[in-house]
Amino acid sequence: MRRTTSFDLVVLKMAIHGIVVAGIASNSLFAHVQLFLLRRNTQVKSRAKASCLFLESDIQPELTPPLYSGYTFIHHRVD
């Protein structure tokens, strides 16, 4: 099981609007997040360089507060 690093993409499921928002976290999971819009089918809609691979089983419990337990991580190294 690979640890989620600060350079991994974080997907935030926004149920109200039915869209998925991904961001790049820098120093902490919820700090300095740059947002990208993705379609529901996970195809990249913006300029993000991403090969989207959902690894929901790879979520680290200590990085997922109960309030955000529905969030999914996309593991992708951003250069």
Domain that holds residue 38: 9-74
Phi, psi of 62 (to 5 degrees): -70, -20
The CA-atom distances, in angstroms, between 54 and each of 15, 27, 32, 42 are 18, 22, 22, 9
Q: Smallest Cα–Cα separation from 12: which of 1, 24, 28, 26?
A: 24
**Domain contains 34:** yes
In a domain, 55, yes or no: yes
Assess if residue 46 is contained within a domain: yes
What pTM, to 2 d.p., does this model score?
Answer: 0.16
Contact 74, 50 (CB under 8 A): yes
- Residues written for the chain: 79
Q: Is residue 60 part of a domain?
A: yes
In a domain, 2, yes or no: no
> Is 14 within the bounds of a domain?
yes
Asked, for residue 3, whether it belongs to a domain, the answer is: no
What pLDDT sits at residue 3? 52
Average predicted confidence (pLDDT) for the chain: 40
Per-residue pLDDT tens digits for 25-39:
333 333 333 333 333
Has residue 57 been placed in a domain? Answer: yes
